[in-house]
Structure 1
Amino acid sequence: MTKTPVIAIPMGDPAGIGPEITVGALAKADVYNAGKPVVIGNTAIMEKAARIIGADVAINEISSIDEAQYQYGTIDVLSLNNVDLDSFTFGEVQAQCGQAAFEYIEKAVSLANEGLADVIATTPINKESLKAADVPHIGHTEMLAAMTDTEDPLTMFEVKNMRIFFLTRHLSLKDAIDQMTKERVLDYLKRCDAALQRLGVSSRKFAVAGLNPHSGENGLFGMEEVDEIRPGIDLAVEAGIDAVGPVPADSVFHQALQGKYDAVLSLYHDQGHIAAKMTDFEKTISITNGLPFLRTSVDHGTAFDIAGKGIASSVSMEECIKLSAKYAPHFTGK
């Protein structure tokens, strides 16, 4: 019998839409019942969020995860009570909110490391708020890497039946091209294959996206494919990885959606992000692999401009929670 996973959900930046989309998602029976959700956050702000969106749920404050009820209609909140409500405002950068968001994540990681949570499903945090709080990390991935002593976490997007990995992330395009070496292509294809194995995926055919138009047309439009990308793929194939390419980037993602490939290795940030978000912006979910535990995340920000107004869509958070429940029973660890 498959174990129902405990899903730790850090509330995110209290001033953002995190509380609202968390309540909105957990107010839906199919989402709530996908696992055993526990929110790490602030009881009063979660209650505010429930009132703002008109959700018919009760907020159950708990002091330890053992007290969670896991009953649809009640949202268990492991409350850290680390926000001064007298000075709190929705939609503004506040140091206390940056610090609070960091502490929610820290607690979620602690639960996962202790085996009390099976997966972490994260909500948006704000880089300016983190900076105002002197938190020494720019985002979730960097925090999680530091908290788990993970050198280079691997990011995967999933939307519909398409999975996308990233050879490079937050670099200028010029610097990203410098990272497109045959050694890196080989290393990442090995890591991507291992990542899908950890998620319980048995069929693992990879396509590597091309960099230049038509994948360079054998050197007519650039030599990157000839000198580095294709040789890296060839080395991966020799190592037993089922990989092809480089496949022109204007068609590879469509082909993956049609089921031709199980995953695509995108060469740079926007190449894969555009493909995923044009497919379905709200249902594009990020999975961080290479950690000791599974982590899924929405792929949007705190949306301070609409926070506290009750108009934020919870669709992405719903998908985030359901995807965490889908993979958690098969996840085999770092």
Structure 2
Amino acid sequence: MSETPSFNHQPLAVTMGDPAGIGPEIVARMFLRRPAQRRWIVVGDPLVMRHALAGLDPAAHVRRITTLAEARFDDDVLYVLASSECECLPPVGQITVESGRAAYAAILAAIQLAKSGTVSAIVTAPIHKEALAAAGLHSPGHTEILAEQVGGVNVAMMLANEDIRVVLVTIHCSLRDAIQRADFSAQMAAIRLAHAGARALGIERPRVAVAGLNPHAGENGLFGHEEAHIIAPAIAQARSEGIDASGPWPGDTVFMQAREKRFDVVVAQYHDQGLIPVKYMGLAQGVNITLGLPFVRTSPDHGTAFDIAGRGIADPSSLEAAFDYALRLTGATV
């Protein structure tokens, strides 16, 4: 996240996610669970959201809007800004072209609202990468879509829960490609964004731990040279810029040290190195924050959960945590 202006008079936008997954349900459930916090809209498909809300509370109401100005926020209505208009409900728990297109349309519409300053932040419900691909959209995830739509900025994923914060050097790619992409410039971008992201969360002088790529952080060259030739020089450069960075630390112990409060944020080299420690501690409070954007974007730290979609048992806790992080990062009120 870059320096972000405060829009505390503006509502938040929440995307519905993939309509075949649990996204619409957890959005609707959050609406019902938080009657005192309703200064936000859903960006998505009105038919999908009506079905999701009616399945939880038949007396609740959805109102389709085409502009934010139509939302009043002074009643018990879930406002849905129509980014798509499904003629019939997409099949639950299945990958379809229609679901992929609808999910993507919601993301694009929310991004435009955030770029214009019409909303204070966007919170995105889970999407399915295969559904996007089926629709001919080959962005591997939210982070890449956001970076593409904003253009010309370095972005990174920060995964956060009550215990640790992790920023990734590389994101959605093969492990082979991750090793190639984790070069000096990628290290610097991740370290700088980790520092800025932790500061945005209220940590005045963040302690940034950088994980090694190889076992035992290379063991002084016995298991690889990336630590000495790439990662350590990046840490030195970051320190020269006033960032309290240290490492490279062995990946098998650095997250434990962060949980024990020795570090404020860990820079992980590849997707699973960083996400496994966060998700192992539970998905209920995990939040994904996109750093480097000119606006705030957060998301729950779980997927579409096709296996339980449509059963009325999805837990909205991670979405609610993402919502709360968005409020915290923008100073917004709802």
Check whether TM > 0.5. yes
Correspondence list, 1:205-216, <5 A: 205-216=207-218
Aligned-residue offset at 1:22: 0.4
d(CA) in 1 for partners of 2:71 and 2:18? Answer: 23
Aligned-residue offset at 1:218: 2.5
Matched with 1:329 is 331
d(CA) in 2 for partners of 1:192 and 1:277? Answer: 19
1:313 to 312, 315, 319: 315
Q: Is the partner of 2:252 in helix, strand or coil? A: helix
Shift of the 150–75 alpha-carbon distance from structure 1 to 2, 3 Å rule, reads farther
Matched with 1:118 is 120
Q: Any stretches of 5+ residues in structure 1 without a counterpart?
A: none
Aligned 8 A contact 1:167 1:188 in 2: yes
Matched with 2:12 is 7
- Please list the CA deviations of residues 124-162 of structure 1 after superposition, one character each: whole Å capped at 9, or x if unmatched: 122232223223533222222222114442111111142
Computed over aligned residues only, the root mean square deviation of the Cα atoms, in angstroms, reads 2.5
Correspondence list, 1:54-65, <5 A: 54=57, 57-65=60-68
- Please list the CA deviations of residues 295-321 of structure 1 after superposition, one character each: whole Å capped at 9, or x if unmatched: 101222222232212122211111111
d(CA) in 1 for partners of 2:47 and 2:187? Answer: 48
Q: Does 1:41 align with 2:36?
A: no
- Larger mean Cα displacement after TM superposition, 225-234 or 257-266: 225-234
Aligned-residue offset at 1:200: 5.1
Matched with 1:153 is 155
Shift of the 5–271 alpha-carbon distance from structure 1 to 2, 3 Å rule, reads farther
Give aligned-pair identity as a percent. 38
Aligned-residue offset at 1:206: 0.3
Matched with 1:24 is 29
Aligned-residue offset at 1:29: 2.1
Aligned 8 A contact 2:47 2:85 in 1: no
Aligned-residue offset at 1:15: 1.7
d(CA) in 2 for partners of 1:183 and 1:138? Answer: 22
2:238 to 236, 239, 242: 236
- Please list the CA deviations of residues 149-184 of structure 1 after superposition, one character each: whole Å capped at 9, or x if unmatched: 144421111111421111122233333233444454
Q: Is the partner of 1:254 in helix, strand or coil? A: helix
Q: Does 1:66 align with 2:88?
A: no
d(CA) in 2 for partners of 1:160 and 1:56? Answer: 35
Correspondence list, 1:251-290, <5 A: 251-290=253-292
d(CA) in 2 for partners of 1:181 and 1:137? Answer: 22
Which residue type is aligned with residue 12 of structure 2?
Answer: I
- Please list the CA deviations of residues 181-207 of structure 1 after superposition, one character each: whole Å capped at 9, or x if unmatched: 445433432233234445554231101
Matched with 1:138 is 140
Which residue type is aligned with residue 65 of structure 1?
Answer: L
d(CA) in 1 for partners of 2:254 and 2:210? Answer: 8
Q: Is the partner of 1:283 in helix, strand or coil? A: coil
Aligned-residue offset at 1:73: 4.0
Q: Is the partner of 1:40 in helix, strand or coil? A: strand
Aligned 8 A contact 2:114 2:122 in 1: yes
Aligned 8 A contact 1:29 1:72 in 2: no
2:92 to 90, 93, 96: 90
d(CA) in 1 for partners of 2:66 and 2:186? Answer: 45
Aligned 8 A contact 1:203 1:262 in 2: no
Count of aligned residue pairs for this structure pair = 327
d(CA) in 1 for partners of 2:9 and 2:204? Answer: 22
Aligned-residue offset at 1:38: 0.6
Q: Is the partner of 1:249 in helix, strand or coil? A: coil
- Larger mean Cα displacement after TM superposition, 140-149 or 182-191: 182-191
Shift of the 97–282 alpha-carbon distance from structure 1 to 2, 3 Å rule, reads same
d(CA) in 1 for partners of 2:133 and 2:124? Answer: 19
Q: Any stretches of 5+ residues in structure 2 without a counterpart?
A: 1-5
Aligned 8 A contact 1:150 1:290 in 2: no
Aligned-residue offset at 1:47: 2.0
